[in-house]
Structure 1
Amino acid sequence: MNVVVVGSGIAGLTAALHASAAGLRTALVTKDALGGGCTALAQGGIAGVYGPDDSPALHAADTMTAGAGLSDAAAVGVLVQDGSTRIAELIARGVAVERDATGMLLLGREAAHSHARIVHAGGDATGAAISRALLERVREADIEVIEHALLVDLLTDGVAVHGIRMLRRDDPVDLHADAVILATGGAGQLYAHTTNPAGATGDGIAAALRAGAAVTDLEFVQFHPTVLAGGDAFLISEAVRGEGAALIDADGRRFVFDAHPDGELAPRDVVARVVARQAALQGSPVRLDATGIGAARLAGRFPTIDRVTHERGFDWGREPIPVTPAAHYLMGGVVTDLDGRTSLPGLFAAGEVARTGVHGANRLASNSLLEAAVFGARAADAVGRRRPPSVAQPVSSAAAAPPPLNDPQRSSSERGETKRAPRGAQRRVETSRPALQHLMWDRVGLLRTPDGLAEALDTIRSFRAASSAPTTRAEHEDANLLLVAEATASAALARTESVGAHHIDRHPALIGA
């Protein structure tokens, strides 16, 4: 039996290692070079190791609270019960987590956690440490690695998934498999301001939508409250606030307590909205004051942030730094069960591309790496328990019936029709990616109104109507962003009440500030 894993972040690498260990012929397909994506950029740690007076039940309670009541209790239960095992596995695979002088794991605290339960590696470079260790294990394993291959579509027989179509050097190539595990990450490039890398264009979600897989909760987009203002987006880890840094307005006042009793350690959606409103009111970015932590401690605990802030001209150990929110994480995605199965036989998903039910309306800090490890392993283990079909089925890229999020007026390319005109005859998309990103930021971003969402949806549909069948990588990415943008705006417009990261704004004059 063979399996294709698409994506080389923590979810994909974990899934590939588990699949290979189960004796499956495993191919790992990655969009860029091996190890790209969001995992290596993750500054925060991984939650789930329990210290004195802590427990899986308390971690579950914090996760449910952050999810605004929309998290799935069974999925959260799996997360917290499997968490310690997965962290121990990461350590065994070579992730050098931080320990005290006695060898005990150092546990940090982040926003909305009731206890210190976050494990870090390399100070503020946990994701990079995890990525390096897992990449070494993948290179040692019997895993075929296919780099620089963009997922174009899922190959289906109208019922089940039997492989993928990928783009290599602008040429489509089919790769057949008994099962496919999507681990392609999120869609941060929907927005003008994001912490996500350039490759986060929603490719897995778009392919799932075209194939007819169930997708939901796309309206729940998490915006990180503290990204260094000015220049390319650079995240200032929530762990900095966990160490005692404060958010202050132009007068030096800690304004977040006006909105939540936990102040800077309130859930991310609360802090991000308050930061956006305050910046709009004062006409300038708010500031993060970490001077009380001390320059030496900041340099030792957050070496990456310390280096970048100094490169940007800020001495954050002695002066507050300007910060602003940015799109960070997608809670919704391809619907899965507790073992990563989607609504399409043969298709599994894990990591940010998946909607496992863990995060509900708002992700708890440092649960993303944990969720990816837990459900990446479970998906691969579930594939290993499957039996291959006794009779080979014909394979095509024809899509099944569209899920509820799909526009009923689907284009021929979305219906899976593969007939193409000569490349030179293709009409180019009559919009630009920046135009879509700014539209999403202004109308489907941190602060939303019904009128703004309706306007965005109409505009996105007009963009898609003007689009032609994609051929190049950039064109496929743009098509994916447009499809996911339409589904996101539709979902946001359909949810009329504010909950978690989805906020219907009552002060529309502040939108876009």
Structure 2
Amino acid sequence: MQKIITDVVVVGGGLAAMYAALSAKQQGSQVLMVCKNKIGRSGSSVVAQTVHRVAEQNDLNQELYFKHFWESGRFMGNPELIRVLISEGPKAVNYVKSLGVEFEKGIEILPNGGKITRYSCEPRKGKLLTTPVAEQVRKSSIDMIENTMVIDVIFQNGEINGIICLCNNEIFLVFTKAIILATGGFGRIFSETSNPKGITGDGQAIAARAGARLIGLEFIQFYPYRLRWPKIFDLNPAIFDQGAIFINENQERFMRNFPKAEQENRDKLAQEMFKQREVFLDLSGMSQKDLGKHPILADLVERGYGSKLKMQVTAHFSMGGIQIDSQGETDVPGLFACGECTGGIHGANRLAGSALVECAVFGPRAGRSAAIYARKKPTPRIISPILDLPSSGNDNIFSLISSLGQLMWTKSGIQRSEEDLLQCLGELNALSNHLTHLQPSSYQQWFEAQNMLQISKLIVESALVRRETRGSHLRTDYPNENSIS
């Protein structure tokens, strides 16, 4: 069995992972990145719309943005983490620019009067962000192992000692002083999701098994701006400033009486859309000039689909995850985390344009902290753990994962109740028991299913405990938000 020794391991290959690796390397650590796919070409980063929204360094603007951010998350976000995100946002954007990313700049006004600067790549394609950053990673002498899944952490005498890796059904070990989890969210546990393949909650499950605390798992952002037919893609919400609206199967504009209409907070908009039998995008109010700014939509209209543009609310972002402090540390010594696999910043709803800023602020912080921690630790001991692998065979794991996705979408998705959640938990336990008897041809599929089931159960348990409706967490049996005092 192959064994590797390094100072810091970064698990993941998206923006948060790359920023963390670059930061740890700058501190003088030997750094290894381990990614399930290709570094810079995997995860949600590469399909992101590139938008970074920051409040420039003006005390009043930043305070107004803080109030808007905290209120939008229904007062569930960690104030310390939010303040770090807001105060360091402008500097983080400049750092991203220094890595070769080119942004266009715009100004937006918040509902409370604050001024926000919007940075985005044009066109809004994630690879315009990830490709320049990946090039810097490859130039920096950071070691990389791709197409490899990390399946667990190794402990020695109660301390982090390494990770267990899986590549082509073969196990190998990496011994390290510090680990940074940057594996993204867990959207693939739902049958309807905008997340790419591989976003299966690996980091959250690994952290939970390692004894780290997870927070806010009941808060999942369901994205309202996804066109489902005749083509699947995410809309640019700017179209609603240009005359586009949503209508239901009765040709009613159901968001008409809401203050921000189709640009209402994502949690509220998604919930109202879910109440309709069908939702369509109506572009009849857009001028030809404005429609021309959106080539995909313009092409669909020209081809005769203008009255048939069907929308689908979809699981998009995991607000909950691994609990960290402002330096990216978990409550397990030697274990750090950053990006969407963490929780505590966004609370019960995430504002648009904040996720990529989060990566650029907390990725470097986690990398720096892990490197400083590793500097104080001796070389890890090479002691092989006892491995518990399923027997290999030809059993179908995809069927189980498909059942899991449908179960979570119908019983623990946008609307929840105690009855549905308890039924969901019972069925999840049955699926978990079934998984233990399966003999997979691909160990990776089996371990992904294990992680998805583990996180799903934690989500349902969290949703059962929160007996209220708050932000993205909608309990039909507890429709009101409890007092926040």
TM-score calculated relative to the size of structure 1: 0.84
Give the Cα–Cα distance (whole angstroms) in 2 for the partners of residues 289 and 51 of structure 1: 39
Query: Equivalent residue of 1:466, what SS?
Result: helix
Superposed CA deviations along residues 313-332 of structure 1, whole A, max 9, x for unmatched, are: 8668x657221200000001
Taking a change above 3 Å as real, the CA distance of residues 199 and 54 of structure 1, as seen in their structure-2 partners, is: farther
**Greater displacement, 28-37 / 71-80:** 28-37
Match of 1:21 in 2: 26
Match of 1:58 in 2: 64
Match of 1:360 in 2: 347
Instruction: Pick one of 328, 334, 337 that aligns with 1:340.
Output: 328
Give the Cα–Cα distance (whole angstroms) in 1 for the partners of residues 236 and 219 of structure 2: 21
Give the Cα–Cα distance (whole angstroms) in 2 for the partners of residues 459 and 112 of structure 1: 45
Match of 1:119 in 2: 119
Taking a change above 3 Å as real, the CA distance of residues 381 and 142 of structure 1, as seen in their structure-2 partners, is: same
Query: Equivalent residue of 2:173, what SS?
Result: strand
1:472 CA drift (Å): 1.3
| Structure 2 residue identity aligned to 1:340 | G
Give the Cα–Cα distance (whole angstroms) in 1 for the partners of residues 452 and 464 of structure 2: 18
TM-score calculated relative to the size of structure 2: 0.89
Match of 1:499 in 2: 470
On the 8 A contact 2:32/2:142 being kept in 1, the answer is: yes
1:297 CA drift (Å): 3.4
1:40 CA drift (Å): 1.3
1:223 equivalent in alignment to 2:210: no
Give the Cα–Cα distance (whole angstroms) in 2 for the partners of residues 338 and 110 of structure 1: 26
Match of 1:462 in 2: 430
Match of 2:79 in 1: 73
Match of 1:373 in 2: 360
Instruction: Pick one of 438, 443, 453 that aligns with 1:482.
Output: 453
Q: State, as a whole percentage, how many aligned pairs show the same letter.
A: 29
On the 8 A contact 1:66/1:112 being kept in 2, the answer is: no
On the 8 A contact 1:150/1:166 being kept in 2, the answer is: yes
Match of 2:412 in 1: 444
| Structure 2 residue identity aligned to 1:207 | I
Query: Equivalent residue of 1:124, what SS?
Result: coil
1:33 equivalent in alignment to 2:4: no
1:207 CA drift (Å): 1.1
Matches within 5 A, 1:148-187: 148-157=147-156, 159-187=158-186
**Greater displacement, 222-231 / 495-504:** 222-231
Query: Equivalent residue of 1:86, what SS?
Result: helix
Structure 1: gaps (5+ residues) = 99-104, 399-416, 509-513
Instruction: Pick one of 24, 33, 45 that aligns with 2:51.
Output: 45
Give the Cα–Cα distance (whole angstroms) in 2 for the partners of residues 397 and 187 of structure 1: 29
Matches within 5 A, 1:243-282: 245-258=244-257, 260-278=258-276, 280=277
1:419 CA drift (Å): 4.0
On the 8 A contact 1:110/1:265 being kept in 2, the answer is: no
Match of 2:370 in 1: 383
Give the Cα–Cα distance (whole angstroms) in 1 for the partners of residues 86 and 474 of structure 2: 28
**Greater displacement, 318-327 / 237-246:** 237-246
1:296 CA drift (Å): 4.0
Instruction: Pick one of 5, 10, 15 that aligns with 2:10.
Output: 5
Superposed CA deviations along residues 397-432 of structure 1, whole A, max 9, x for unmatched, are: 87xxxxxxxxxxxxxxxxxx52446535x9776961
Taking a change above 3 Å as real, the CA distance of residues 56 and 74 of structure 1, as seen in their structure-2 partners, is: same
Query: Equivalent residue of 1:55, what SS?
Result: helix
Superposed CA deviations along residues 162-217 of structure 1, whole A, max 9, x for unmatched, are: 22211111111111111111110011111011000011111111111121111121
Q: How many residues align?
A: 470
Give the Cα–Cα distance (whole angstroms) in 2 for the partners of residues 430 and 9 of structure 1: 25
On the 8 A contact 1:193/1:233 being kept in 2, the answer is: no
Give the Cα–Cα distance (whole angstroms) in 1 for the partners of residues 469 and 269 of structure 2: 15
Give the Cα–Cα distance (whole angstroms) in 1 for the partners of residues 183 and 388 of structure 2: 26
On the 8 A contact 1:4/1:27 being kept in 2, the answer is: yes
Give the Cα–Cα distance (whole angstroms) in 1 for the partners of residues 198 and 169 of structure 2: 16
Match of 2:96 in 1: 90
Query: Equivalent residue of 1:307, what SS?
Result: helix
**Greater displacement, 238-247 / 435-444:** 238-247
On the 8 A contact 1:159/1:344 being kept in 2, the answer is: no
On the 8 A contact 1:205/1:334 being kept in 2, the answer is: yes
1:212 equivalent in alignment to 2:211: yes
Give the Cα–Cα distance (whole angstroms) in 2 for the partners of residues 287 and 393 of structure 1: 57
On the 8 A contact 2:61/2:115 being kept in 1, the answer is: no
Give the Cα–Cα distance (whole angstroms) in 2 for the partners of residues 418 and 31 of structure 1: 20
1:373 CA drift (Å): 1.1
**Greater displacement, 220-229 / 75-84:** 220-229
1:18 CA drift (Å): 1.3
Match of 1:286 in 2: 279
On the 8 A contact 1:287/1:321 being kept in 2, the answer is: yes
**Greater displacement, 220-229 / 242-251:** 242-251
**Greater displacement, 48-57 / 210-219:** 48-57
**Greater displacement, 48-57 / 139-148:** 48-57
| Structure 2 residue identity aligned to 1:331 | M
| Structure 2 residue identity aligned to 1:324 | Q
Match of 1:307 in 2: 296
Give the Cα–Cα distance (whole angstroms) in 2 for the partners of residues 41 and 287 of structure 1: 23
Match of 1:297 in 2: 290
Match of 1:434 in 2: 402
Taking a change above 3 Å as real, the CA distance of residues 242 and 428 of structure 1, as seen in their structure-2 partners, is: same
Taking a change above 3 Å as real, the CA distance of residues 434 and 419 of structure 1, as seen in their structure-2 partners, is: closer
On the 8 A contact 1:79/1:374 being kept in 2, the answer is: yes
Match of 1:194 in 2: 193
Cα RMSD, aligned residues only: 2.9
On the 8 A contact 1:12/1:376 being kept in 2, the answer is: yes
**Greater displacement, 440-449 / 174-183:** 174-183
Query: Equivalent residue of 2:224, what SS?
Result: strand
On the 8 A contact 2:291/2:297 being kept in 1, the answer is: no
Match of 1:423 in 2: 392
1:232 CA drift (Å): 7.3
On the 8 A contact 1:110/1:238 being kept in 2, the answer is: no
